[in-house]
Amino acid sequence: MIRKEAMRLILAKINSEPIVSANGFISRDLFELKDKPSNFYMIGSMGLASSIGLGVALKNPKKKNFVFDGDGSILMNLGSLTTIASLKPKNFIHIIFDNASHESTGGQPTVTSKIRIKNIAKSLNYKVFEVKTKNEIENFFRKISSTVGPIMLIVKVQKSIIVSKRIDISPTKIKNRFIDSLKN
């Protein structure tokens, strides 16, 4: 399964809940698959999706808050996992699309072929799930309906040659419509 396919299946389970998506191809996939105001596309600030998502989750306790992260991206901000774990946001669902590479910059390897993010997150008392297939993604959403966060879903995906289009909404517009979506 490639990232875009996995993301399509995941998006079928998310309505108007906020999604903060990592810069690079992850935000581009999200934009192409299902653009909506409740998506916050990062186009810079590499590595910070989990932190921005944490801020949103802490202030929106009645919503489920999603972060779409990459393996390269979370490795840049591993410290954020300790902050998230210490604050224990119940409504925080951290999805990591793990292709063991920096696909947006040419497919250079990350270390997730050698180390397990799963084990790091488990040691921090995240509820961790790791999936590889479409069925497992379906099962994940069934399982988490009554699970208290922080939750991490690691989706093991293959590298892909499919590149989604660039985000053509201005950053301030991305922000303003995201802010409005949080008011509902």
Partner 1 sequence: MKKSFQIEIFDFFLKHKIENFIGVPDSTLKHFISYGLEKKKIIITTREEEAIGIASGMTMSDSNSLVFMQNAGFANSISTITSLVELYKIPLIFLIGWRGYLKNDAPEHLKIGKIQPDLLKIIGLPSKTLSQKNWKNSCVWALKKIQKNQPCALIVKREFYD
Which residues make beta-bridge pairs with 21?
A: 41, 68
Distances (CA, A) of 38 to 35, 120, 127: 9, 29, 24
Residues that bind partner 1 (CB under 8 A): 20, 40, 42-48, 50-60, 77, 79-80, 82-83, 87, 171-172, 174-175, 178-179, 182-183
Residue 78 C-beta: closest distance to partner 1, Å: 8
Residue 59 C-beta: closest distance to partner 1, Å: 4
Distances (CA, A) of 157 to 40, 89, 174: 23, 27, 27
Name which of 81 and 131 has its Cβ closer to partner 1.
Answer: 81
Name which of 53 and 150 has its Cβ closer to partner 1.
Answer: 53
Name which of 5 and 150 has its Cβ closer to partner 1.
Answer: 150
Residue 158 C-beta: closest distance to partner 1, Å: 29
Distance from C-alpha of 73 to C-alpha of 151, rounded to nearest angstrom: 17
Contact status, residue 89 vs residue 54, Cβ threshold 8 Å = yes
Contact status, residue 125 vs residue 184, Cβ threshold 8 Å = no
Residue 41 C-beta: closest distance to partner 1, Å: 10
